[in-house]
Structure 1
Amino acid sequence: MNVFDIIGPVMVGPSSSHTAGASRAGKVARQLLGAAPAKAEIILYGSFACTYRGHGTDKAIIGGLLGFDADDVRMIDSFALAKRQGLEFKFVKGSSDKYHPNTAKIRLQGSGGEDTTVVVSSVGGGAIKVVEINGIEVSFSADYYTTVIINRDKAGVVAEMAAVLAENQINIAFMRLFRQANINQAIMVVETDQPVSQDVQACLKKILHIKKVLVIEPLSA
Protein backbone atom coordinates (compact mmCIF):
# COMPACT_ATOMS: atom_id res chain seq x y z
CA MET A 1 0.00 0.00 0.00
CA ASN A 2 1.25 3.51 -0.81
CA VAL A 3 0.14 7.07 -0.06
CA PHE A 4 -1.98 7.16 -3.24
CA ASP A 5 -3.98 4.15 -2.01
CA ILE A 6 -4.77 5.99 1.25
CA ILE A 7 -5.52 9.57 0.18
CA GLY A 8 -6.55 8.99 -3.44
CA PRO A 9 -5.70 10.95 -6.58
CA VAL A 10 -5.32 14.71 -7.06
CA MET A 11 -8.50 15.65 -8.89
CA VAL A 12 -11.36 18.05 -9.51
CA GLY A 13 -14.62 16.69 -8.10
CA PRO A 14 -16.08 14.88 -5.12
CA SER A 15 -15.39 11.22 -5.97
CA SER A 16 -12.28 9.36 -7.07
CA SER A 17 -14.41 6.74 -8.84
CA HIS A 18 -17.13 8.98 -10.27
CA THR A 19 -14.99 11.95 -11.30
CA ALA A 20 -11.26 11.13 -11.42
CA GLY A 21 -11.87 7.66 -12.85
CA ALA A 22 -14.52 9.02 -15.20
CA SER A 23 -12.20 11.70 -16.59
CA ARG A 24 -9.51 9.08 -17.19
CA ALA A 25 -12.08 6.91 -18.97
CA GLY A 26 -12.82 9.79 -21.32
CA LYS A 27 -9.15 10.53 -21.91
CA VAL A 28 -8.23 6.94 -22.73
CA ALA A 29 -11.20 6.71 -25.12
CA ARG A 30 -9.94 9.83 -26.91
CA GLN A 31 -6.49 8.26 -27.29
CA LEU A 32 -8.02 5.03 -28.61
CA LEU A 33 -9.88 7.04 -31.24
CA GLY A 34 -6.54 8.47 -32.31
CA ALA A 35 -8.03 11.91 -32.98
CA ALA A 36 -10.06 14.66 -31.38
CA PRO A 37 -13.66 13.41 -31.19
CA ALA A 38 -16.40 15.28 -33.04
CA LYS A 39 -19.33 13.20 -31.75
CA ALA A 40 -19.72 11.17 -28.58
CA GLU A 41 -22.44 8.95 -27.19
CA ILE A 42 -21.78 7.87 -23.61
CA ILE A 43 -23.83 5.01 -22.17
CA LEU A 44 -23.61 4.86 -18.37
CA TYR A 45 -24.15 1.71 -16.30
CA GLY A 46 -24.78 0.98 -12.63
CA SER A 47 -24.05 3.74 -10.14
CA PHE A 48 -22.63 5.90 -12.93
CA ALA A 49 -26.13 5.99 -14.43
CA CYS A 50 -27.76 6.78 -11.07
CA THR A 51 -25.51 9.59 -9.82
CA TYR A 52 -23.68 10.99 -12.85
CA ARG A 53 -25.09 14.51 -12.60
CA GLY A 54 -24.64 14.92 -8.86
CA HIS A 55 -21.10 13.55 -8.82
CA GLY A 56 -19.98 15.36 -11.96
CA THR A 57 -19.34 12.13 -13.86
CA ASP A 58 -20.75 13.65 -17.04
CA LYS A 59 -18.51 16.73 -16.90
CA ALA A 60 -15.52 14.55 -16.01
CA ILE A 61 -15.98 12.23 -19.01
CA ILE A 62 -16.37 15.17 -21.38
CA GLY A 63 -13.28 16.79 -19.86
CA GLY A 64 -11.37 13.58 -20.51
CA LEU A 65 -12.62 13.52 -24.10
CA LEU A 66 -11.19 17.03 -24.46
CA GLY A 67 -7.84 15.69 -23.23
CA PHE A 68 -7.96 17.16 -19.71
CA ASP A 69 -6.22 15.47 -16.77
CA ALA A 70 -8.22 14.59 -13.66
CA ASP A 71 -6.90 17.63 -11.77
CA ASP A 72 -7.56 20.17 -14.55
CA VAL A 73 -9.83 22.93 -13.22
CA ARG A 74 -11.30 23.39 -16.71
CA MET A 75 -13.25 20.19 -16.02
CA ILE A 76 -15.92 22.32 -14.32
CA ASP A 77 -16.68 24.07 -17.62
CA SER A 78 -16.17 21.04 -19.86
CA PHE A 79 -19.67 21.16 -21.41
CA ALA A 80 -19.25 24.75 -22.58
CA LEU A 81 -15.70 24.09 -23.77
CA ALA A 82 -16.83 21.00 -25.68
CA LYS A 83 -19.52 22.95 -27.51
CA ARG A 84 -16.99 25.68 -28.29
CA GLN A 85 -14.72 23.05 -29.85
CA GLY A 86 -17.57 21.52 -31.85
CA LEU A 87 -17.90 18.29 -29.86
CA GLU A 88 -21.48 16.98 -29.95
CA PHE A 89 -22.30 14.65 -27.08
CA LYS A 90 -25.15 12.90 -25.34
CA PHE A 91 -25.54 10.68 -22.29
CA VAL A 92 -27.73 7.58 -22.15
CA LYS A 93 -28.59 5.39 -19.17
CA GLY A 94 -27.86 1.73 -19.87
CA SER A 95 -28.64 -1.50 -18.07
CA SER A 96 -26.40 -4.58 -17.99
CA ASP A 97 -25.19 -7.13 -15.46
CA LYS A 98 -22.09 -7.71 -17.57
CA TYR A 99 -20.09 -4.71 -16.39
CA HIS A 100 -18.64 -3.29 -13.18
CA PRO A 101 -21.12 -0.86 -11.50
CA ASN A 102 -19.05 2.20 -12.51
CA THR A 103 -18.81 1.65 -16.25
CA ALA A 104 -19.18 3.78 -19.37
CA LYS A 105 -19.46 2.66 -22.98
CA ILE A 106 -18.07 5.53 -25.04
CA ARG A 107 -18.84 5.66 -28.76
CA LEU A 108 -16.75 8.21 -30.62
CA GLN A 109 -16.51 9.61 -34.12
CA GLY A 110 -13.78 11.90 -35.39
CA SER A 111 -14.15 14.56 -38.05
CA GLY A 112 -11.91 12.55 -40.37
CA GLY A 113 -14.08 9.44 -40.32
CA GLU A 114 -12.39 7.75 -37.35
CA ASP A 115 -14.65 5.78 -35.03
CA THR A 116 -14.29 3.56 -32.00
CA THR A 117 -16.35 2.12 -29.15
CA VAL A 118 -14.58 1.71 -25.83
CA VAL A 119 -15.94 0.27 -22.58
CA VAL A 120 -14.12 1.50 -19.46
CA SER A 121 -14.77 0.73 -15.79
CA SER A 122 -13.74 3.00 -12.91
CA VAL A 123 -12.54 0.50 -10.30
CA GLY A 124 -11.75 2.76 -7.34
CA GLY A 125 -9.24 5.37 -6.25
CA GLY A 126 -9.25 6.98 -9.69
CA ALA A 127 -8.00 3.77 -11.33
CA ILE A 128 -9.64 2.46 -14.49
CA LYS A 129 -9.78 -0.73 -16.50
CA VAL A 130 -10.44 -0.83 -20.23
CA VAL A 131 -12.60 -3.93 -20.75
CA GLU A 132 -13.73 -3.75 -24.37
CA ILE A 133 -12.61 -2.18 -27.65
CA ASN A 134 -14.89 -2.38 -30.68
CA GLY A 135 -16.68 -5.43 -29.30
CA ILE A 136 -13.52 -7.36 -28.39
CA GLU A 137 -13.01 -8.02 -24.68
CA VAL A 138 -9.68 -6.70 -23.37
CA SER A 139 -8.22 -5.89 -19.97
CA PHE A 140 -5.65 -3.19 -19.18
CA SER A 141 -5.24 -0.25 -16.82
CA ALA A 142 -3.30 2.34 -18.89
CA ASP A 143 -0.83 2.79 -16.02
CA TYR A 144 2.12 2.02 -18.34
CA TYR A 145 3.05 3.30 -21.77
CA THR A 146 0.47 1.27 -23.65
CA THR A 147 0.42 0.48 -27.35
CA VAL A 148 -2.82 -0.96 -28.69
CA ILE A 149 -2.39 -2.74 -32.00
CA ILE A 150 -5.39 -3.85 -34.05
CA ASN A 151 -4.41 -6.55 -36.51
CA ARG A 152 -5.62 -9.49 -38.53
CA ASP A 153 -5.21 -12.70 -36.55
CA LYS A 154 -2.30 -14.15 -38.53
CA ALA A 155 0.84 -16.09 -37.58
CA GLY A 156 4.03 -14.09 -37.12
CA VAL A 157 2.54 -10.68 -36.34
CA VAL A 158 3.38 -10.83 -32.63
CA ALA A 159 6.97 -11.88 -33.34
CA GLU A 160 7.50 -9.04 -35.83
CA MET A 161 6.04 -6.51 -33.40
CA ALA A 162 8.35 -7.70 -30.61
CA ALA A 163 11.35 -7.55 -32.95
CA VAL A 164 10.63 -3.91 -33.85
CA LEU A 165 10.42 -2.93 -30.18
CA ALA A 166 13.61 -4.83 -29.33
CA GLU A 167 15.50 -3.16 -32.18
CA ASN A 168 14.53 0.20 -30.69
CA GLN A 169 15.52 -0.72 -27.12
CA ILE A 170 11.92 -0.74 -25.88
CA ASN A 171 11.32 -3.26 -23.11
CA ILE A 172 7.96 -5.02 -22.93
CA ALA A 173 6.59 -5.10 -19.37
CA PHE A 174 3.36 -6.94 -20.23
CA MET A 175 1.85 -8.15 -23.48
CA ARG A 176 -1.57 -9.71 -24.03
CA LEU A 177 -3.37 -10.81 -27.16
CA PHE A 178 -7.15 -10.69 -27.37
CA ARG A 179 -8.88 -12.39 -30.31
CA GLN A 180 -12.28 -12.60 -31.94
CA ALA A 181 -12.10 -15.63 -34.18
CA ASN A 182 -15.33 -15.10 -36.11
CA ILE A 183 -14.02 -11.86 -37.65
CA ASN A 184 -10.35 -12.92 -37.83
CA GLN A 185 -9.31 -9.87 -35.82
CA ALA A 186 -7.05 -9.49 -32.81
CA ILE A 187 -5.96 -6.73 -30.46
CA MET A 188 -2.49 -6.68 -28.96
CA VAL A 189 -2.08 -4.67 -25.78
CA VAL A 190 1.62 -4.01 -25.23
CA GLU A 191 2.67 -2.22 -22.03
CA THR A 192 6.26 -0.98 -22.11
CA ASP A 193 8.81 0.64 -19.82
CA GLN A 194 9.70 3.24 -22.44
CA PRO A 195 7.48 5.37 -24.68
CA VAL A 196 6.88 4.22 -28.25
CA SER A 197 7.92 7.10 -30.49
CA GLN A 198 6.17 8.13 -33.69
CA ASP A 199 9.07 6.66 -35.69
CA VAL A 200 8.62 3.29 -33.99
CA GLN A 201 4.85 3.51 -34.50
CA ALA A 202 5.50 4.05 -38.21
CA CYS A 203 7.65 0.89 -38.29
CA LEU A 204 4.91 -1.10 -36.58
CA LYS A 205 2.33 0.12 -39.09
CA LYS A 206 4.44 -1.30 -41.92
CA ILE A 207 4.09 -4.86 -40.58
CA LEU A 208 1.81 -6.97 -42.75
CA HIS A 209 -1.65 -7.52 -41.21
CA ILE A 210 -1.36 -4.64 -38.72
CA LYS A 211 -4.30 -2.30 -39.34
CA LYS A 212 -3.94 0.34 -36.64
CA VAL A 213 -1.44 1.38 -33.95
CA LEU A 214 -2.64 3.55 -31.05
CA VAL A 215 -0.52 4.81 -28.17
CA ILE A 216 -1.78 5.70 -24.69
CA GLU A 217 0.36 7.79 -22.37
CA PRO A 218 0.37 6.58 -18.73
CA LEU A 219 -2.72 8.04 -17.07
CA SER A 220 -1.06 8.01 -13.65
CA ALA A 221 1.82 10.20 -14.87
Structure 2
Amino acid sequence: MSFISVFDVLGPNMIGPSSSHTAGTAVIAYLAQKMINGPLKKVEFTLYGSFAKTYKGHGTDRALLGGIMGFSTDDTRIRESFRIADERGLEFHFIVNDTETDIYPNTVDIRMENEAGQVMTVRGESLGGGKVRIVRINQVKVDFSGEYSAVIVVHQDKPGVAAHITKVLSDCSVNIAFMRIFREAKGHTAYTIVESDNRLPENITETLRENSHVHDVMIVQS
Protein backbone atom coordinates (compact mmCIF):
# COMPACT_ATOMS: atom_id res chain seq x y z
CA MET A 1 0.00 0.00 0.00
CA SER A 2 1.35 3.44 -0.93
CA PHE A 3 0.65 6.65 0.97
CA ILE A 4 0.44 10.23 -0.25
CA SER A 5 1.78 12.91 2.02
CA VAL A 6 -0.29 16.02 2.61
CA PHE A 7 2.77 17.94 1.38
CA ASP A 8 2.52 16.10 -1.96
CA VAL A 9 -1.02 17.49 -2.28
CA LEU A 10 -0.48 21.01 -1.02
CA GLY A 11 3.01 21.50 -2.36
CA PRO A 12 5.97 23.25 -0.69
CA ASN A 13 6.13 26.68 0.93
CA MET A 14 5.93 28.90 -2.11
CA ILE A 15 4.98 32.10 -3.80
CA GLY A 16 1.77 30.98 -5.58
CA PRO A 17 -0.52 30.42 -7.22
CA SER A 18 0.35 26.92 -8.47
CA SER A 19 2.66 24.21 -7.17
CA SER A 20 3.09 22.88 -10.71
CA HIS A 21 3.32 26.12 -12.67
CA THR A 22 5.06 28.27 -10.07
CA ALA A 23 6.89 26.25 -7.41
CA GLY A 24 7.88 23.46 -9.78
CA THR A 25 9.28 25.82 -12.38
CA ALA A 26 11.21 27.76 -9.75
CA VAL A 27 12.80 24.48 -8.62
CA ILE A 28 13.70 23.46 -12.18
CA ALA A 29 15.39 26.79 -12.84
CA TYR A 30 17.10 26.76 -9.44
CA LEU A 31 18.59 23.33 -10.21
CA ALA A 32 19.59 24.41 -13.72
CA GLN A 33 21.63 27.40 -12.55
CA LYS A 34 23.50 25.14 -10.13
CA MET A 35 24.89 23.23 -13.11
CA ILE A 36 26.74 26.12 -14.73
CA ASN A 37 29.36 28.47 -13.38
CA GLY A 38 27.86 31.90 -12.78
CA PRO A 39 27.21 34.65 -13.19
CA LEU A 40 24.77 34.24 -16.07
CA LYS A 41 24.46 36.89 -18.75
CA LYS A 42 21.64 35.41 -20.85
CA VAL A 43 18.86 32.86 -20.41
CA GLU A 44 16.12 31.59 -22.71
CA PHE A 45 13.09 29.65 -21.48
CA THR A 46 11.20 27.54 -24.04
CA LEU A 47 7.76 26.60 -22.73
CA TYR A 48 5.73 23.57 -23.82
CA GLY A 49 2.22 22.25 -23.23
CA SER A 50 0.24 23.93 -20.48
CA PHE A 51 3.22 26.14 -19.62
CA ALA A 52 3.01 27.65 -23.09
CA LYS A 53 -0.69 28.39 -22.65
CA THR A 54 -0.83 29.78 -19.11
CA TYR A 55 2.67 30.89 -18.15
CA LYS A 56 1.79 34.57 -17.69
CA GLY A 57 -1.38 34.05 -15.67
CA HIS A 58 0.19 31.49 -13.34
CA GLY A 59 3.40 33.43 -12.79
CA THR A 60 5.50 30.73 -14.43
CA ASP A 61 7.67 33.39 -16.07
CA ARG A 62 8.41 35.14 -12.78
CA ALA A 63 9.10 31.81 -11.04
CA LEU A 64 11.50 30.63 -13.74
CA LEU A 65 13.37 33.89 -13.67
CA GLY A 66 13.51 33.87 -9.88
CA GLY A 67 14.79 30.29 -9.79
CA ILE A 68 17.50 31.02 -12.35
CA MET A 69 18.71 33.84 -10.08
CA GLY A 70 18.89 31.42 -7.14
CA PHE A 71 15.62 32.28 -5.39
CA SER A 72 13.91 29.47 -3.45
CA THR A 73 10.21 28.70 -3.91
CA ASP A 74 9.14 30.84 -0.93
CA ASP A 75 11.37 33.83 -1.71
CA THR A 76 9.18 36.93 -2.00
CA ARG A 77 11.64 38.39 -4.50
CA ILE A 78 10.05 36.10 -7.12
CA ARG A 79 7.27 38.68 -7.45
CA GLU A 80 9.86 41.24 -8.55
CA SER A 81 12.07 38.90 -10.57
CA PHE A 82 11.69 40.87 -13.83
CA ARG A 83 12.88 44.07 -12.20
CA ILE A 84 15.70 42.33 -10.33
CA ALA A 85 16.92 40.59 -13.49
CA ASP A 86 17.02 43.94 -15.29
CA GLU A 87 18.97 45.47 -12.43
CA ARG A 88 21.47 42.61 -12.56
CA GLY A 89 21.90 42.95 -16.31
CA LEU A 90 20.54 39.47 -16.97
CA GLU A 91 19.08 39.21 -20.48
CA PHE A 92 16.07 36.88 -20.58
CA HIS A 93 13.57 35.65 -23.15
CA PHE A 94 10.48 33.44 -23.04
CA ILE A 95 9.72 31.34 -26.12
CA VAL A 96 6.39 29.59 -26.61
CA ASN A 97 6.50 26.24 -28.41
CA ASP A 98 2.90 25.21 -29.08
CA THR A 99 3.67 22.95 -32.04
CA GLU A 100 5.57 20.14 -30.32
CA THR A 101 2.86 18.08 -28.64
CA ASP A 102 4.59 14.73 -28.04
CA ILE A 103 6.08 15.94 -24.79
CA TYR A 104 5.21 15.99 -21.09
CA PRO A 105 2.63 18.81 -20.57
CA ASN A 106 4.59 20.82 -17.98
CA THR A 107 8.00 21.01 -19.67
CA VAL A 108 10.55 23.80 -20.01
CA ASP A 109 13.91 24.01 -21.77
CA ILE A 110 16.37 26.43 -20.18
CA ARG A 111 19.29 27.64 -22.27
CA MET A 112 21.88 29.43 -20.13
CA GLU A 113 24.94 31.40 -21.13
CA ASN A 114 27.40 32.68 -18.54
CA GLU A 115 29.80 35.61 -18.76
CA ALA A 116 32.63 33.26 -19.75
CA GLY A 117 30.68 32.17 -22.84
CA GLN A 118 29.80 28.69 -21.56
CA VAL A 119 26.40 27.51 -22.82
CA MET A 120 24.25 24.80 -21.27
CA THR A 121 20.70 23.62 -21.92
CA VAL A 122 18.60 21.83 -19.30
CA ARG A 123 15.13 20.34 -19.75
CA GLY A 124 12.88 19.93 -16.73
CA GLU A 125 9.39 18.61 -16.07
CA SER A 126 7.11 19.82 -13.26
CA LEU A 127 5.28 16.81 -11.82
CA GLY A 128 2.95 18.50 -9.33
CA GLY A 129 3.22 19.36 -5.67
CA GLY A 130 6.48 21.18 -6.33
CA LYS A 131 8.21 17.96 -7.42
CA VAL A 132 10.27 18.01 -10.60
CA ARG A 133 12.41 15.85 -12.83
CA ILE A 134 15.45 16.92 -14.85
CA VAL A 135 15.28 14.84 -18.04
CA ARG A 136 17.91 16.31 -20.35
CA ILE A 137 21.26 18.07 -20.11
CA ASN A 138 22.81 19.31 -23.35
CA GLN A 139 20.77 16.89 -25.50
CA VAL A 140 21.68 13.87 -23.36
CA LYS A 141 18.68 12.23 -21.71
CA VAL A 142 19.07 12.00 -17.93
CA ASP A 143 16.74 11.48 -14.99
CA PHE A 144 17.07 12.93 -11.51
CA SER A 145 14.77 14.72 -9.11
CA GLY A 146 16.94 17.22 -7.27
CA GLU A 147 15.57 15.93 -3.97
CA TYR A 148 19.02 14.58 -3.07
CA SER A 149 22.40 16.22 -3.24
CA ALA A 150 23.94 15.17 -6.54
CA VAL A 151 27.28 15.21 -8.29
CA ILE A 152 27.09 15.20 -12.09
CA VAL A 153 30.25 14.06 -13.85
CA VAL A 154 30.55 14.75 -17.58
CA HIS A 155 33.06 12.38 -19.12
CA GLN A 156 34.04 10.32 -22.12
CA ASP A 157 32.39 6.90 -22.11
CA LYS A 158 35.56 4.94 -21.30
CA PRO A 159 36.34 1.95 -19.05
CA GLY A 160 37.44 2.81 -15.53
CA VAL A 161 35.70 6.18 -15.20
CA ALA A 162 32.80 4.83 -13.12
CA ALA A 163 35.28 3.03 -10.85
CA HIS A 164 37.23 6.27 -10.44
CA ILE A 165 34.05 8.14 -9.45
CA THR A 166 32.94 5.57 -6.88
CA LYS A 167 36.44 5.37 -5.37
CA VAL A 168 36.63 9.16 -4.94
CA LEU A 169 33.22 9.20 -3.27
CA SER A 170 34.09 6.23 -1.07
CA ASP A 171 37.34 7.86 0.03
CA CYS A 172 35.30 10.92 1.05
CA SER A 173 32.78 8.75 2.98
CA VAL A 174 29.92 9.71 0.66
CA ASN A 175 26.90 7.42 1.03
CA ILE A 176 25.51 6.75 -2.46
CA ALA A 177 21.71 6.65 -2.67
CA PHE A 178 21.49 6.35 -6.47
CA MET A 179 24.04 6.17 -9.26
CA ARG A 180 23.16 6.16 -12.95
CA ILE A 181 25.09 6.62 -16.18
CA PHE A 182 23.54 8.28 -19.23
CA ARG A 183 25.33 8.57 -22.56
CA GLU A 184 24.89 9.90 -26.09
CA ALA A 185 26.26 6.69 -27.61
CA LYS A 186 28.93 4.10 -26.85
CA GLY A 187 32.29 5.82 -26.50
CA HIS A 188 30.83 9.33 -26.67
CA THR A 189 29.92 11.86 -23.96
CA ALA A 190 28.37 10.37 -20.83
CA TYR A 191 26.82 11.83 -17.69
CA THR A 192 27.25 9.94 -14.43
CA ILE A 193 24.84 11.23 -11.80
CA VAL A 194 25.37 10.19 -8.20
CA GLU A 195 22.81 11.19 -5.58
CA SER A 196 23.56 11.14 -1.87
CA ASP A 197 21.48 11.40 1.30
CA ASN A 198 23.87 14.01 2.69
CA ARG A 199 25.51 17.18 1.43
CA LEU A 200 28.48 16.47 -0.78
CA PRO A 201 31.95 17.76 0.12
CA GLU A 202 32.88 20.56 -2.28
CA ASN A 203 36.51 19.41 -2.46
CA ILE A 204 35.62 16.24 -4.41
CA THR A 205 35.40 18.29 -7.62
CA GLU A 206 39.13 18.58 -8.22
CA THR A 207 39.79 14.96 -7.27
CA LEU A 208 37.15 13.74 -9.72
CA ARG A 209 38.77 15.86 -12.45
CA GLU A 210 42.07 14.01 -12.02
CA ASN A 211 40.85 11.33 -14.41
CA SER A 212 41.83 12.38 -17.95
CA HIS A 213 38.44 11.31 -19.35
CA VAL A 214 36.48 13.62 -17.03
CA HIS A 215 35.43 16.85 -18.79
CA ASP A 216 33.39 18.61 -16.12
CA VAL A 217 32.00 18.13 -12.60
CA MET A 218 28.88 19.81 -11.22
CA ILE A 219 27.63 19.63 -7.64
CA VAL A 220 23.97 20.31 -6.90
CA GLN A 221 23.31 20.43 -3.17
CA SER A 222 19.79 19.70 -1.93
Pair in the same fold by TM > 0.5:
yes
Q: Secondary structure at the match of 1:138?
A: strand
Instruction: Tell me if the contact between 2:200 and 2:221 (Cα under 8 Å) persists in the aligned partners.
Output: no
Distance (whole Å) between structure 1 residues aligned to residue 187 and residue 65 of structure 2: 32
Q: 1:185 aligns with which of 178, 189, 202?
A: 189
1:53 aligns with 56
Distance (whole Å) between structure 1 residues aligned to residue 90 and residue 152 of structure 2: 24
Distance (whole Å) between structure 2 residues aligned to residue 183 and residue 36 of structure 1: 32
Q: 1:13 aligns with which of 16, 21, 26?
A: 16
2:162 aligns with 158
1:91 aligns with 94
User: Cα deviations across residues 117-175 of structure 1 (Å, max 9, x unaligned)?
Assistant: 00001011011100100000111101000111110110000001000000110011000
Counterpart amino acid of residue 29 in structure 2: G
Deviation at 1:26, TM superposition (A): 0.9
User: Cα deviations across residues 54-92 of structure 1 (Å, max 9, x unaligned)?
Assistant: 000000000000000000000000010011111100001
Instruction: Tell me if the contact between 1:23 and 1:61 (Cα under 8 Å) persists in the aligned partners.
Output: yes
Distance (whole Å) between structure 1 residues aligned to residue 169 and residue 186 of structure 2: 29
2:116 aligns with 112
Q: Secondary structure at the match of 1:33?
A: coil
- Number of equivalent positions: 218
Instruction: Tell me if the contact between 1:157 and 1:208 (Cα under 8 Å) persists in the aligned partners.
Output: no
Distance (whole Å) between structure 2 residues aligned to residue 178 and residue 54 of structure 1: 36
Distance (whole Å) between structure 1 residues aligned to residue 215 and residue 45 of structure 2: 26
Deviation at 1:217, TM superposition (A): 1.6
Counterpart amino acid of residue 67 in structure 1: G
Distance (whole Å) between structure 1 residues aligned to residue 203 and residue 194 of structure 2: 17
Instruction: Tell me if the contact between 1:121 and 1:128 (Cα under 8 Å) persists in the aligned partners.
Output: yes
Distance (whole Å) between structure 2 residues aligned to residue 126 and residue 76 of structure 1: 18
Distance (whole Å) between structure 2 residues aligned to residue 187 and residue 215 of structure 1: 13
Deviation at 1:207, TM superposition (A): 1.7
Counterpart amino acid of residue 128 in structure 1: V
Q: 2:75 aligns with which of 67, 72, 77?
A: 72
* Structure 1 unmatched ranges of 5 or more: none
Distance (whole Å) between structure 2 residues aligned to residue 152 and residue 83 of structure 1: 38
Counterpart amino acid of residue 83 in structure 1: D
Matched, 1:197 2:197: no
Structure 1: 4+ residue segments shifted above 4 A? none
Distance (whole Å) between structure 1 residues aligned to residue 164 and residue 205 of structure 2: 13
Give the percent of matched residue pairs that are identical in Structure 1 and Structure 2. Answer: 41
Counterpart amino acid of residue 14 in structure 1: P
Alpha carbon RMSD of aligned pairs, Å? 1.2
Change (3 A) 1:183 1:108: farther
**TM-score, L = length of structure 2:** 0.95
2:153 aligns with 149
Distance (whole Å) between structure 1 residues aligned to residue 9 and residue 189 of structure 2: 41
Deviation at 1:2, TM superposition (A): 2.1
1:41 aligns with 44
Distance (whole Å) between structure 1 residues aligned to residue 55 and residue 196 of structure 2: 34
Deviation at 1:8, TM superposition (A): 1.7
2:30 aligns with 27
Distance (whole Å) between structure 2 residues aligned to residue 98 and residue 38 of structure 1: 31
Distance (whole Å) between structure 1 residues aligned to residue 100 and residue 214 of structure 2: 33
